[in-house]
Chain A
């Protein structure tokens, strides 16, 4: 067993354990943090597969931004676990059915003839000056440019519609206009009154 194999098995063990923790821990904050751990170990596995750009982007996007907002929300929730587990057995057959469909689908992909170990050997190590990012960029902007642009437009639509759905115009909110604040002159606010000195009444 080589050094890389040991790292692979170590990372896989951590990944599986933390992924199990995500769905078994009762405290949602622990679950969110374990999900972060599983993202990071997954990035480690991708690095072993020579997918450095994807690995670092996984950490950058999911760990650095998405999970921060998740944690942000989860920490503010006051979750009542008893109420949450009430409908567990009622919905269990439905959930189980979905899980079964997912398992079948994934095994159709992974166990078929297209994705077997013979079809997908370990990636060949590249030379030191090979840039994964550059190759990926070249492919995205030449061969897959339409798909890429379509995905970008979809994301933009999703973002705009999310904002549009949650945007509420309130009439009674108090807003400061920084432009007005900066342009305030002395004479707008302050009135200097010249006044003769008054004698104290005897």
Chain B
């Protein structure tokens, strides 16, 4: 690493060399995060089809394989889907606003990928270890809505527009509950840095994770996360049975696939954030020998996979919410719960030290 930096300094001079070195290393890191992430997205679609198929006593995709190897049947499916999507024509409707129509998928996937910049994979492995990491993530995820609104408007179609309106109202409502749930996490950890939030959950076992003192917030965050990503049972933005496919009804080929990728990238992001905020990130469940041998990165991946399974499970299990029920859940149930929990948490944190040192409280406060 340092020798490469020396080369840069020799080649471009000390001022520019350092800057260009930083730029190059950051670009390499970005690719090292984005490419596995997109592969993960591809295989998440495969996992979804397989898991939901098994839940419904079907087999799911079982044909496409690599080099004819029989036990890999089905594993080539995401690659085949990607090739198919790339080959298809992107049809732009005549009445559409062409510039915004093409811009919308880009605006949808950009925040889903940009939020990964501050996610720590292990104590050292993080692209940008910034102090306001949690705020950055909130800001990035709140920008994802633009792609959907613009897609709905630019398509110049009433179904797309209805989907966009529904999605905008839903995402704005659930963002509040999500933000308040994260405020509780921030009160517990007393830091906005995501690495510090994970190390605040360090202890002997999983009892120290924020999952237990913040259990209602965990539920609120997870359910709001499902609503934010417009997944079933909150997928009224797509609502096949009412408004065809919602905001992306006029999209085809790769433009549609980008929306699809963004939805799954957002799912992985919400699962990652849930594991970091509530399930102790890279920390092993019990801090003794066989568990500590496994690297933290693997623990994080296991936790992400665990949360993602819930997303797929919800989709296979629940019927779609009615729209007024969604709004009621967000505004009248989740936001009051989070507000009360913030006050309760603040009161507990203001208790005298002697009470906070008693057994269950001393684990977290």
Question: In the complex, what residues of B have CB within 8 A of residue A72's CB?
Answer: 149, 165, 168-169
Give the docked Cα–Cα distance between A176 and B324 (Å).
Answer: 9
Range class of the A interface residue count: 20 to 34
Total count of chain B residues near the partner, CB < 8 A: 31
* The one of A59, A65, A178 that contacts B328, using a Cβ cutoff of 8 Å: A178
Give the docked Cα–Cα distance between A132 and B191 (Å).
Answer: 11
Interface centre among B16, B146, B171 (most CB of A within 10 A): B146
Q: Is B132 within 8 A of A53, CB to CB?
A: yes
In the complex, which residue of chain A has the Cβ closest to the Cβ of B329? A178
Given contacts A3-B19, A52-B130, contact A63 B139 (CB under 8 A): yes
Question: In the complex, what residues of B have CB within 8 A of residue A71's CB?
Answer: 146, 149, 168
Q: Is B250 an interface residue (CB 8 A)?
A: no
* The one of A60, A130, A176, A178 that contacts B139, using a Cβ cutoff of 8 Å: A60
Q: Is B244 an interface residue (CB 8 A)?
A: no
Question: In the complex, what residues of A have CB within 8 A of residue B175's CB?
Answer: 64-65
Give the docked Cα–Cα distance between A52 and B128 (Å).
Answer: 14
Fill in one digit per residue for A94-119: 1 if any B CB lies within 8 Å of its CB, else 0.
00000000000000000000000000
Question: In the complex, what residues of B have CB within 8 A of residue A3's CB?
Answer: 15-16, 19
Give the docked Cα–Cα distance between A57 and B171 (Å).
Answer: 18
Q: Is A29 within 8 A of B135, CB to CB?
A: no
Given contacts A65-B142, A65-B175, A178-B328, contact A132 B132 (CB under 8 A): yes
Within 8 A of A (CB), among B116-166: 130-132, 135-136, 138-139, 142-143, 145-146, 149-150, 153, 161, 164-165
Give the docked Cα–Cα distance between A59 and B136 (Å).
Answer: 9
Fill in one digit per residue for A149-187: 1 if any B CB lies within 8 Å of its CB, else 0.
000000000000000000000000000101000000000
Q: Is B192 an interface residue (CB 8 A)?
A: yes
Q: Is A24 an interface residue (CB 8 A)?
A: no
Given contacts A56-B132, A131-B131, A133-B131, contact A68 B145 (CB under 8 A): yes
The main secondary structure of chain B at its interface with chain A is: helix
Q: Is A53 within 8 A of B135, CB to CB?
A: yes
Interface centre among B138, B143, B164 (most CB of A within 10 A): B143
Q: Is B135 within 8 A of A57, CB to CB?
A: yes
Given contacts A52-B130, A132-B131, contact A59 B325 (CB under 8 A): no
Q: Is A56 within 8 A of B139, CB to CB?
A: yes
Give the docked Cα–Cα distance between A36 and B100 (Å).
Answer: 14
Question: In the complex, what residues of A have CB within 8 A of residue B143's CB?
Answer: 59, 63-64
Task: Quote the shortest CB–CB distance from A200 to chain B (angstroms).
Answer: 41
In the complex, which residue of chain B has the Cβ closest to the Cβ of A43? B139
Q: Is A69 an interface residue (CB 8 A)?
A: yes
Q: Is B142 within 8 A of A64, CB to CB?
A: yes
Given contacts A29-B153, A60-B139, A64-B175, contact A36 B146 (CB under 8 A): yes
Q: Is B172 an interface residue (CB 8 A)?
A: yes
Question: In the complex, what residues of B have CB within 8 A of residue A178's CB?
Answer: 325, 328
Task: Quote the shortest CB–CB distance from A10 to chain B (angstroms).
Answer: 14
Task: Quote the shortest CB–CB distance from A149 to chain B (angstroms).
Answer: 16
Question: In the complex, what residues of A have CB within 8 A of residue B132's CB?
Answer: 52-53, 56, 131-133
Task: Quote the shortest CB–CB distance from B86 to chain A (angstroms).
Answer: 28
In the complex, which residue of chain A has the Cβ closest to the Cβ of B141? A64
In the complex, which residue of chain B has the Cβ closest to the Cβ of A4? B19
Q: Is B135 within 8 A of A133, CB to CB?
A: yes
In the complex, which residue of chain A has the Cβ closest to the Cβ of B190? A134
Interface centre among A2, A36, A133, A176 (most CB of B within 10 A): A133
In the complex, which residue of chain A has the Cβ closest to the Cβ of B142? A64
Q: Is A75 within 8 A of B138, CB to CB?
A: no
Give the docked Cα–Cα distance between A63 and B141 (Å).
Answer: 11
Q: Is A33 an interface residue (CB 8 A)?
A: yes
Task: Quote the shortest CB–CB distance from A2 to chain B (angstroms).
Answer: 7
In the complex, which residue of chain B has the Cβ closest to the Cβ of A53? B132
Question: In the complex, what residues of A have CB within 8 A of residue B161's CB?
Answer: 75
Q: Is B131 within 8 A of A52, CB to CB?
A: yes
Question: In the complex, what residues of A have CB within 8 A of residue B192's CB?
Answer: 131, 133
Task: Quote the shortest CB–CB distance from B269 to chain A (angstroms).
Answer: 15
Give the docked Cα–Cα distance between A75 and B175 (Å).
Answer: 21
* The one of B15, B149, B165, B171 that contacts A2, using a Cβ cutoff of 8 Å: B15
With A65-B175, A76-B165, A131-B191 given, can you name 20 additional A-B contacts, CB distance below 8 Å?
A: A52-B131, A53-B132, A56-B136, A59-B139, A60-B139, A60-B142, A63-B142, A63-B143, A64-B139, A64-B145, A65-B142, A68-B146, A71-B149, A72-B149, A72-B168, A75-B153, A131-B131, A131-B192, A176-B324, A178-B325
15 A-B Cβ contacts within 8 A?
A3-B19, A33-B100, A33-B150, A52-B130, A57-B135, A59-B139, A59-B142, A60-B139, A63-B142, A65-B172, A68-B168, A71-B146, A75-B161, A131-B132, A133-B132
Residues of B within 8 A of A (CB): 15-16, 19, 100, 130-132, 135-136, 138-139, 142-143, 145-146, 149-150, 153, 161, 164-165, 168-169, 171-172, 175, 191-192, 324-325, 328
State the 10 A-B residue pairs at the shortest beta-carbon distance, nearest first: A64-B142, A59-B139, A60-B139, A3-B19, A56-B135, A131-B131, A75-B153, A56-B139, A52-B132, A72-B168
Residues of A within 8 A of B (CB): 2-3, 29, 33, 36, 52-53, 56-57, 59-60, 63-65, 68-69, 71-72, 75-76, 129-133, 176, 178
